[in-house]
Amino acid sequence: MPSPQPVDMARSRVFGGVAETYDAARAGYPDALVSAVLGYAALGDRPALEAGAGTGKATVPFAAALTTPLTCVEPDARMAEVLRRNTSPYPHVTIDVSPFEDFRPGDTRYGLFFSATAWHWFDPDRRWDLVHDALAPGGAVALFWNPVGVRDPGLHAALAEVDRRHGLTGTPHAELASSYGDTPGQWPGMLGHWPALDCEHDARFTDLRSLRFREDTDYDTAHYLDYLSSISRYATLPPHHRTQVLADTAAALTAHGGRLPVTRHHDLFLARRT
């Protein structure tokens, strides 16, 4: 099994500077995924814990569905400010502004731990220990991501040329939708690092499941540029370089009708503390 990917701390701390753009441009998660997680967790009256909550793209649908307390851990105060605004209708939500690695559950043990597009930012040497220690026996783990694949091969090729020209790799539009397999976690950013590969060798977790939910959608040019601006790979570019990359990306989109048709894959991993 490949070694865990090291965390790029510089990239992991840039989101607060684009918190409002992140909140407006990032995709959320489907009701079917939320229902699958809560059905698996069977929380009862036990509380839930989210790590890397960001501005609440997953928090809000979970908070709306939960009646038990939900604690959200988010390391960036600027992201947490937007998160606090978005969760204000839900008095059972508590926000802890700290890195997940510094969070201390005290005597509380949770019936569900979940993390949306954030697991890869946590210390790979400690994250499973921290989750195990936070969960009650039988408590559930839910980790999920929502990568996209471009449905138009011609537009994909044009965007790939922009990326090549600017030395970018691993961008959100780097893959064709047709390149995704049928197995959850089967996409380039995750191959060899899907959480099941850790848990199948860890006797502390059992009942491993992997699910995929698909949806076809499209971005107009302005929305997609905002989305790219919220991605760490773009946010860490020097300003003049980022401006040119976004301009060239916009030109490629405009030349292909001004829209980016994609398939979004919501990949979900579930496990349970033994």
Domain that holds residue 133: 9-151+180-219+264-273
Domain membership of residue 268 (yes or no) is yes
The pLDDT assigned to 7 comes to 53
- In-domain check, residue 205: yes
- pLDDT class of 3 with cuts at 50, 70, 90: very low
What is the number of domains present in the chain? 1
Residue-level length of the chain = 274
pLDDT class of 5 with cuts at 50, 70, 90: low
What is the DSSP secondary structure assignment for residue 120, as one 8-state letter? G
According to DSSP H, which parts of the chain are helical? 9-12, 19-25, 31-41, 59-65, 77-86, 127-134, 153-166, 196-199, 221-229, 232-235, 239-255
247-267 pLDDT per residue, tens? 999 999 999 999 999 999 999
Q: Mean per-residue pLDDT for 68-74?
A: 98
pLDDT digits (tens, 9 = 90+) for 35-54: 999 999 999 999 999 999 99
The pLDDT tens digits of the residues spanning 80-130 come to 999 999 999 999 999 999 999 999 999 999 999 999 999 999 999 999 999
**Distance (Å, whole) CA 172 – CA 47:** 34
- Grade residue 190 by pLDDT with cuts at 50, 70 and 90: confident
Inside any domain, residue 173 = no
191-237, pLDDT tens digit by residue? 888 999 999 999 999 999 999 999 999 999 999 999 999 999 999 99
Give me the CATH number covering residue 110. Answer: 3.40.50.150
Does residue 160 form part of some domain? no
Does 169 reside within a domain?
Answer: no
As a whole number of angstroms, the distance between CA 98 and CA 51 comes to 10
**Is residue 135 one of the residues assigned to a domain?**
yes
Looking at the predicted structure, is the pLDDT value of residue 11 above 90?
A: no
Query: pLDDT, tens digit, for every residue of 128-157?
Result: 999 999 999 999 999 999 999 999 999 999
Q: Is residue 162 part of a domain?
A: no
Whether residue 46 lies inside any domain: the answer is yes
